[in-house]
Amino acid sequence: MAVASISRPRRTSFAGRPAWSLLVLAAAAVVAAPVVAVAVQAVTADDTTGLPRGLGSMVLTTIALLVSVALGTLVVGGGLAWLVTAYRFPLRGILSWLLVLPLAMPTYILGFVFLSTFDVGGPVHEWWREAFGADAWIPGVRNLPACALVMSLTLFPYVYLMARAALLEQSTSTYDAARTLGAGRVRTLLTVVLPLARPSLAAGLALVMMEVLTDFATVQYFGVKTVSVGVYLTWKGSYDFEAATQLSMLVLTFAVAVLAGERLMRGRSRYHQKGGRGQGMELQQLDGWRGWAATLVCLLALSAAFLLPVARLVGWAVAEALDDSSSLVDPRFGEYLGNSLTVALVAAAGCVSVALVLGHALRISGGRFQRAAAQVTTFGYAVPGAVVGIGVLLAFDWLDRVLEWVGTGGTGLLVTGSVAGVLYAYLVRFLAPAYQAVDASLAKVSPTMTLSALSLGASPRRVLTRVHLPLARSGVLVAVVMVVIDAVKELPVVLMIRPFGFTTISVWVYQLASENFWEKAALPALLIVAAAIVPVFLLFRQVRLVDPHRSPVD
């Protein structure tokens, strides 16, 4: 008989803790408010005359960019995952995790490094003209294909990670079975491994496309006008709420389509399949030049996406320092870094507190309803930045009107925007990673432990502070680090709703780069990249746990 236990988490009832249930609902409402605001505003709008011209081409551009980045990341990420998982070649072990590093390179940073190198006036351009003459034809780089290439280079690790996890986990027993049934290596790949990896690939691609939808900074460098850019320009250009809202509704529709597509691709197959104890795919040795060719392919991707841009940034930073040593202590640098860190730390504290309360409340008083509400709080991560931005502004506008109606005279938040808006947007965007980290830690606290604490007379508050918090400490720490770094990196949301005169380090980098002050932008950019390596490492550590061929260097 299955061990019966009163601790089974199933069928937990309301069991009468309305206060905690209410907290969960409140959190869900706060996080959902901006998205709901956008949807409501867009649906109730009187007319659509406010829409900017060129809407059709914007939509087409968005689709083209989404498709090309998806294909790019699929080829690069999927291909590298297969190479690293199925073959043994020199430096495979170390490369298999170095390939995650491009995630630490924000797209807008790689974007400006790329442009400074290949655009008119860059070293490649100069060299080309010297080699083929001043009038020689040269492919332009401020266009969609170049933009898609840059985005693919920074985003492929999402697909790489998911594909690799799928190949490692799913193939363990099924792969062996297919082989014993006489299928060859390639046939097994096509008929067993790939179909099984499909849900994971779909999930990776969905993440990639969400990032593409969220971006409206990088694409502007390249003159690619997506719907998200439309929202930003409409808002910043004319402060036309109506038009911006309707455009962001369009962005939201794209996001929903991407998620629906992922569901469709995933089909009825489950995400993870229990791996069993099989050895999985045996690594096939690549000898001689073939082995080194594989190494070269990995190194090429890594160099293009991470090593070379970092080297170029370091070069600029050093040159700048030698050229004018005062630039290192540019007073603005300290101020903007301070702004970034302050906002990031406050956002982290907020996100982690809410995440902890959510996780705790679900354990104290978890019902189907509360669980659904908690699920809602994690959707913010999938909502594109432009939508969050406009939504937060809308929500503040409503709040303002309510305050005016009450008679306090309003706060004037709408006109100037405020840091509170940025913090709110961060909460919406980053509650999901914080909640996941905290929840992963809390998941290790068995329900029996919570119940034991309660039956020993501890109030829910005491259970939170004396049992759940101490036991979730590592998750809380991870969550704080993730949110701080995500917040420091974040660009679109800040660009959109920062109050006048409030600049963070990421905004500064973006502005310097738009004005072609590459050297000046280098040091803060490097700082952002360095900080972003931390969550990549954390992410990698999680994935690494499932690698059966575990050894750092083969």
Partner 1 sequence: MTEPRFSLELEQVSKAYGDVLAVRELDLRAAPGELLTLIGPSGCGKSTTLRLVAGLEKPTSGSIRIAGEVVAGAAWQPPERRRVGLVFQDHALFPHLTVARNVAFGLHRWERAERHARVGEVLELVRMGPLADRYPHELSGGEQQRVALARALAPRPAVVLLDEPFSSLDETLRAKVRTDTVAVLRETGTTAIFVTHDQTEALSTGDRVVVMRDGVVEQADTPAAVFEAPATRFVASFMGDADFLPAHVHDGVLSSEIGVVSTVPGWRDDDVEVVLRPHEVALTPAQDGEAEVVAVEYHGAFVLHTVRLVSGRTLRSWQPHSVRHPIGTRVHVSVVGGVRPTLLRGDVAVTEVPAEPRPTR
- If one asks whether residue 322 binds partner 1 (CB under 8 A), the answer comes out as no
Per the listing, tokens 């959902």 go with 32
CA distance linking residue 508 with residue 550, whole number of Å: 41
CA angle 215, 221, 222 (to 5 degrees): 95
Cβ 251 vs Cβ 227: under 8 Å: yes
- The footprint of partner 1 on this chain (CB under 8 A) covers a number of residues equal to 33
Closest to partner 1 by CB, 14 or 239: 14
- If one asks whether residue 5 binds partner 1 (CB under 8 A), the answer comes out as yes
Strands 87-88 and 284-285, how do they pair?
parallel
Closest to partner 1 by CB, 155 or 467: 467
- If one asks whether residue 8 binds partner 1 (CB under 8 A), the answer comes out as yes
- If one asks whether residue 290 binds partner 1 (CB under 8 A), the answer comes out as no
Name the minimum Å distance from CB 459 to partner 1. 6
Closest to partner 1 by CB, 467 or 512: 467
Q: Which of 156, 197, 160, 198 is nearest to 68 (CA)?
A: 156
Name the minimum Å distance from CB 470 to partner 1. 5
Q: Which of 52, 222, 244 is nearest to 150 (CA)?
A: 222
Out of 3, 131, 322, 406, which residue is the one contacting partner 1 (CB under 8 A)?
A: 3
Closest to partner 1 by CB, 9 or 123: 9
Name the minimum Å distance from CB 22 to partner 1. 16
Name the minimum Å distance from CB 455 to partner 1. 5
Binding mask 393-432 for partner 1 (x = CB under 8 A): ----------------------------------------
Strand partners, 88: 285
Name the minimum Å distance from CB 3 to partner 1. 6
Closest to partner 1 by CB, 247 or 467: 467
CA distance linking residue 232 with residue 390, whole number of Å: 9
- If one asks whether residue 371 binds partner 1 (CB under 8 A), the answer comes out as no
- If one asks whether residue 380 binds partner 1 (CB under 8 A), the answer comes out as no
Binding mask 191-210 for partner 1 (x = CB under 8 A): --------------------
User: The dihedral of CA 235, 238, 240, 243: what is its sign?
Assistant: negative
Cβ 260 vs Cβ 405: under 8 Å: no
- If one asks whether residue 7 binds partner 1 (CB under 8 A), the answer comes out as yes
Query: What angle do the packed helices 331-365 and 447-455 form, to 10 degrees?
Result: 70
Please tell me whether residue 303 adopts helix, strand or coil conformation: helix
- If one asks whether residue 12 binds partner 1 (CB under 8 A), the answer comes out as yes
CA distance linking residue 529 with residue 485, whole number of Å: 10
Binding mask 446-485 for partner 1 (x = CB under 8 A): x-xx-xxxxxxxxxx-x---xx--xx--------------
Neighbours of 404 (CB within 10 A): 12
CA angle 138, 140, 141 (to 5 degrees): 130
Q: Which stretch binds partner 1 (CB under 8 A): 27-35, 116-124, 431-439, 445-453?
A: 445-453
**225 burial via Cβ count (<10 Å: 0-12, 13-18, 19+):** buried
Closest to partner 1 by CB, 15 or 67: 15
- Token pair recorded at residue 549: 């061929």
- The helix (H) or strand (E) run that includes residue 285 is strand 284-285
Phi, psi of 87 (to 5 degrees): -125, 155
Name the minimum Å distance from CB 345 to partner 1. 26
- Token pair recorded at residue 299: 């190194």
Closest to partner 1 by CB, 121 or 457: 457
Closest to partner 1 by CB, 11 or 53: 11
- Token pair recorded at residue 419: 């840091």
Closest to partner 1 by CB, 7 or 408: 7
- If one asks whether residue 440 binds partner 1 (CB under 8 A), the answer comes out as no
By CB under 8 A, the residues from 15 to 34 that bind partner 1 are 15-17
Closest to partner 1 by CB, 284 or 446: 446
3-state secondary structure 82-107: HHHHHEECCCHHHHHHHCCHHHHCCH
Contacts for 301 with CB less than 8 Å, ≥ 6 apart: 76, 80, 99, 102, 153, 156
Closest to partner 1 by CB, 195 or 470: 470
Which spans of this chain sit near partner 1 (rule: CB under 8 A)?
1-8, 11-17, 446, 448-449, 451-460, 462, 466-467, 470-471
